[in-house]
Amino acid sequence: MTFFTRDKTFAQPVNLTITLSLALFHVGAIVALFMFSWKALVFGLFMWWVAESLGIGIGYHRLLTHRGYKTPKWMEYCLTVCGTLALQGGPLGWVATHRLHHQNSDKEGDPHSPRDGGFWAHMGWILTGESLHNKTTELLAYVPDLRKDRFMIWISKWHWIPMVILAVAALGLGGWRYLMWGVFLRTVVGLHATYLVNSATHMWGSRRFRTTDASTNNFVVAILSFGEGWHNNHHAHPQSARHGLAWYEFDLNWYGIYALRTLGLAWDVKLPKLAK
C-alpha cells in the first residue's frame, strides 16, 4: 500500500482556485494565533462544534448520508446549514462522495483511499480538483433522495452563502479576532479533522471488526472529529447513528443525537444490537 511514496497527488496538476482558497484559510489560521483573546477562542470553539459536530457529523454524515435516524425537516435543514459552515461543499456532493467511498472503500473507485497515497487521501484529492467530480451526473445518481428536495438542491448550489454571512457578522459584531478565530482557524482545524478520517483512520489504529477495507478506530481522530474517528466501527455498521460502541469510545456526535431523541426531535435511531 502506498501511503507517502508514489502519491497520486503529484502525478497531476493542482486546481489553483481550490489550492489558493485553502492556502488563504491556512494563512488566516496562522494569523489568528497572533490575535488571541479568550472571547475569540470561545467563539471559535463554539463555531467548530456547530460546523463539525452538528453540521458534518450529525448532519451531513449520520443523517443525510446514512439515514441513521429521522428528524423533522426543519431540523434536517438547520443541521445542513451548519454543515455548509465547514467549507466542505454542499450536501449533494458531500453525501454522494461519501456513499461512493463506502461502496468502493479502499478499492478501485474509492475517491480518497490511502492506497493512492497518504497525502492523496488526506487532501490531495481536494487540491487536484478530483473532489469536483461530485458535480457529475454519474455521482449524483448516488443521492436520488436529496435530489428530490428543493432546499437540498438550492443549498448545494449556494453553500458558500452561510459562511459569508457568518464572516460578515463575526467581523461586524466581534472584530477581526472573532473573524480569524471563528471562521479561519476553526475551519482549518475542522477541515483537517475530516481529512484525517479519510486518511489516518484507513492507515493507523485498531480493528475491532473484520471489514473488507482498511478502516481502523483511531482515538486521536475521534477526539478531533467529535466521534467520527471510530471508523472501523462505522464501516462495520454504516447505518448506526452511534460510532463509539464502548463506554471508553468518546462520541460527542452520538450524544448530540441522543439529546435530540430525548427531546423528541429524533426517532427511528439505528443502532447495532451490541450498542442498544
Strand-pairing partners, residue 2, are 116
- 12 pLDDT above the threshold of 70: yes
pLDDT (0 to 100) of residue 276: 44
Residue type present at position 210: R
Query: How far lies 251's CA from each of 138, 211, 219, 259, 271, in Å?
Result: 33, 21, 10, 13, 14
pLDDT (0 to 100) of residue 7: 87
Q: How many residues does the chain have?
A: 276
- 192 pLDDT above the threshold of 90: yes
pLDDT 10s digits, 127-168: 998 766 555 667 889 999 999 999 999 999 999 999 999 999
pTM to 2 decimal places? 0.94
pLDDT (0 to 100) of residue 275: 46
Alpha-carbon gap, residue 43 to 49, rounded angstroms: 10
| Average pLDDT for 222-244 | 98
- 5 pLDDT above the threshold of 70: no
